[in-house]
């Protein structure tokens, strides 16, 4: 018999009268795993507490930002101190300069940058810079990679060899979608062939270099080589969408983990410490195209907001301290090892794929290298596993196409609870 959630159910009923699906972002509705979402009352450290008083070890971390744990005292205090001086000025502040310097410390490739208020704004703006500096309309993305909900990025592969994109959402004009070309992640030869055919029309390639939105998938060396080649031969910009991987797969993101120097980088989530911050930036020669210096327009009322900047700055300061990232990475490795031992002992058809403080448990009997592999996983079993773990007080992302996130607040107690619950949930979810 699972946990009872009367208050969450009542709130979902009330919310659904006013908010589509009762949620302000679709994945929160638990549609991919079945059951109903739990409404959260508060969070502290590695734990969430729902409105019915149930406590969970949290592996969503508000989809990445809570890398230091929830309600970290130093971050809370930084936000309160900033709030006492005013919440928004619509004018430049010193904190934004310090923030840009701090971000560049983690991402040296970001010679210049601009703060925005979400990951979507960051990727949308980076695309505009690439199109603006190259004068080309075409862009390339990869199936299964998610870059926020800007029109040009809600596009999937069209049928036929032309690879012209078709809308992946209602409301996207077909004549916009056609400029987005979609390939399979890790398809190095497909990328080379597309550029050989259409390189002169393509402004950029945007990717999650280590993916999180189809589960955690690493790029092959050949794929990275193909990215370097198309940049060198055809002048396309390589945009690393590090909204999720930034400060997560490595303190310097996927670009540090992989040793790749992108032309533009997009950040979000951790960089705001749980408040609304996105950042896009990269080579100065490209970023000088941005208004008021150049012809690429981009703006935002709350860009560089003092409270969000304070939360982000404090997060980066704490994360930059010796041993902090290493500690979270070490915990993640212990959890990966423990899960793999349970998979071996139980003979389960499952694989764990991890990079730094992010990982995915795929119900698959082989490594997952692209979206087709991710789709071939046993997602019904993932739904059973998710519900079983929730009933055991472990809060996993409500989709098999997501990554789990670990924080500095996860320790021995949380490891023991998680592995004990996983042993039972792996066994119970094995039955259809």
Say whether residue 195 binds ligand KE4 (CB under 6 A): no
Selected binder of ligand KE4 within 119, 262, 273, 304 (CB under 6 A): 119
Smallest distance from the beta carbon of 317 to ligand KE4, in angstroms? 22
Smallest distance from the beta carbon of 147 to ligand KE4, in angstroms? 5
Name the active-site residue from 47, 56, 59, 146.
Answer: 146
Is the CB of 212 or the CB of 273 nearer to ligand KE4? 212
Is the CB of 147 or the CB of 314 nearer to ligand KE4? 147
CA angle 45, 50, 55 (to 5 degrees): 50
Contact 131, 303 (CB under 8 A): no
By beta carbon distance, the residue nearest ligand KE4 is 119
Q: Convert residues 210-249 into a mask of x (bound to ligand KE4 by CB under 6 A) and - (unbound).
A: --xx---------------------------x-xx-----
CA angle 301, 251, 74 (to 5 degrees): 65
Contact 355, 255 (CB under 8 A): no
The DSSP-derived string for 255-307 is: HHHHT---SEEEE-GGGGTTSS-EEEEE-HHHHTTBTTTSSB----TTTT-HH
Burial status of residue 201 (CB atoms within 10 A of its CB: 0-12, 13-18, 19 or more) = middle
Smallest distance from the beta carbon of 141 to ligand KE4, in angstroms? 11
**Which span (1-9, 143-151, 155-163, 164-172) binds ligand KE4, by CB under 6 A?**
143-151
Name the active-site residue from 50, 58, 187, 241.
Answer: 241
Which residues in the 269-328 window bind ligand KE4 by CB under 6 A? none
**191: phi then psi, degrees, rounded to nearest 5:** -65, -45
Selected binder of ligand KE4 within 8, 118, 315, 429 (CB under 6 A): 118
Selected binder of ligand KE4 within 106, 146, 363, 385 (CB under 6 A): 146
For residue 30, give the nearest of 407, 395, 430 by alpha carbon: 395
Token pair recorded at residue 316? 């980066």
Smallest distance from the beta carbon of 227 to ligand KE4, in angstroms? 17
For residue 59, give the nearest of 427, 385, 402 by alpha carbon: 402
Catalytic site includes residue 241: yes
- Helical (H) or strand (E) element with 338: helix 324-346
Q: CA 21 to CA 29: how far, in whole Å?
A: 7
Residue 182 in 3-state DSSP? strand
Catalytic site includes residue 297: no
Token pair recorded at residue 360? 């995915």
Q: CA 279 to CA 112: how far, in whole Å?
A: 10
Q: CA 75 to CA 70: how far, in whole Å?
A: 9
Is the CB of 249 or the CB of 316 nearer to ligand KE4? 249
Catalytic site includes residue 146: yes
**Which span (44-52, 205-213, 219-227, 335-343) binds ligand KE4, by CB under 6 A?**
205-213
Token pair recorded at residue 247? 């400060």
Number of residues that bind ligand KE4 (CB under 6 A): 18
Given the DSSP bridges, would you call strands 202-207 and 237-241 parallel, antiparallel or unpaired? parallel
Token pair recorded at residue 353? 């794929």
Positive or negative: CA dihedral 31, 32, 35, 41: negative
Say whether residue 120 binds ligand KE4 (CB under 6 A): yes
Smallest distance from the beta carbon of 60 to ligand KE4, in angstroms? 9
Is the CB of 241 or the CB of 414 nearer to ligand KE4? 241
Say whether residue 402 binds ligand KE4 (CB under 6 A): yes
Name the active-site residue from 47, 269, 373, 401.
Answer: 269
**Which span (36-44, 78-86, 113-121, 301-309) binds ligand KE4, by CB under 6 A?**
113-121
Contact 364, 351 (CB under 8 A): yes
Smallest distance from the beta carbon of 114 to ligand KE4, in angstroms? 15
Is the CB of 265 or the CB of 348 nearer to ligand KE4? 265
Q: Convert residues 13-52 into a mask of x (bound to ligand KE4 by CB under 6 A) and - (unbound).
A: ------------x-x-------------------------
Q: What is the CA radius of gyration of the chain?
A: 21
For residue 58, give the nearest of 31, 83, 40, 85 by alpha carbon: 40
Say whether residue 66 binds ligand KE4 (CB under 6 A): no
Is the CB of 187 or the CB of 208 nearer to ligand KE4? 208
Interacting residues with ligand KE4 (CB under 6 A): 25, 27, 63, 118-120, 123, 146-148, 208, 212-213, 241, 243-244, 268, 402
Active site residues: 146, 241, 269
């Amino acid at each position: 018999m699972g946990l009872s959630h009367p208050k969450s159910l009542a709130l979902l009923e009330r919310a659904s009268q006013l908010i589509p699906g009762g949620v302000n972002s679709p994945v929160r509705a638990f549609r991919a795993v079945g059951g109903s979402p739990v409404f959260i009352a508060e969070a502290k450290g590695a734990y969430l507490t729902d409105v019915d008083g149930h406590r969970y070890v949290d592996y969503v971390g508000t989809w990445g930002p809570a890398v230091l744990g929830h309600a970290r005292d130093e971050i809370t205090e930084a936000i309160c101190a900033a709030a006492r001086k005013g919440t928004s000025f619509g004018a430049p502040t010193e904190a934004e300069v310090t923030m840009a310097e701090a971000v560049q410390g983690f991402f040296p490739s970001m010679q210049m940058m601009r703060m925005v208020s979400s990951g979507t704004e960051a990727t949308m703006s980076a695309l505009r810079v690439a199109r603006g500096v190259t004068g080309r309309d075409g862009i390339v993305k990869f199936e299964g990679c998610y870059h926020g909900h800007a029109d040009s990025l809600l596009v999937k592969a069209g049928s036929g060899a032309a690879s012209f994109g078709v809308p992946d959402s209602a409301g996207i004009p077909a004549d916009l979608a056609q400029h987005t070309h979609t390939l399979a992640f890790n398809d190095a030869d497909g990328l080379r062939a597309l550029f050989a055919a259409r390189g002169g029309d393509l402004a950029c390639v945007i990717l999650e270099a280590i993916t999180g939105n189809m589960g955690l998938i690493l790029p092959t060396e050949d794929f990275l080589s193909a990215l370097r080649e198309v940049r060198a031969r055809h002048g396309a910009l390589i945009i690393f969408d590090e909204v999720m991987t930034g400060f997560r797969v490595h303190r310097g993101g996927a670009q540090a983990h992989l040793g790749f120097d992108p032309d533009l980088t997009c950040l979000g989530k951790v960089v705001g410490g749980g408040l609304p911050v996105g950042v896009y930036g990269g080579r100065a020669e490209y970023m000088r195209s941005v208004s008021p210096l150049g012809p690429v327009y981009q703006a935002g009322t709350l860009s560089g907001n003092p409270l969000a900047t304070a939360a982000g700055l404090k997060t980066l300061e704490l994360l930059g301290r010796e041993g902090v990232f290493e500690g979270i990475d070490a915990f993640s490795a212990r959890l990966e090892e423990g899960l793999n031992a349970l998979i071996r002992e139980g003979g389960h058809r499952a694989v764990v794929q991890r990079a730094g403080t992010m990982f995915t448990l795929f119900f698959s009997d082989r490594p997952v290298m692209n979206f087709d592999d991710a789709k071939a996983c046993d997602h019904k079993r993932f739904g059973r596993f998710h519900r079983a773990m929730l009933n055991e007080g472990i809060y996993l992302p409500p989709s098999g196409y997501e990554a789990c996130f670990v924080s500095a607040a996860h320790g021995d107690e949380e490891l023991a609870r998680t592995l004990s619950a996983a042993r039972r949930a792996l066994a119970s979810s094995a039955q259809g």
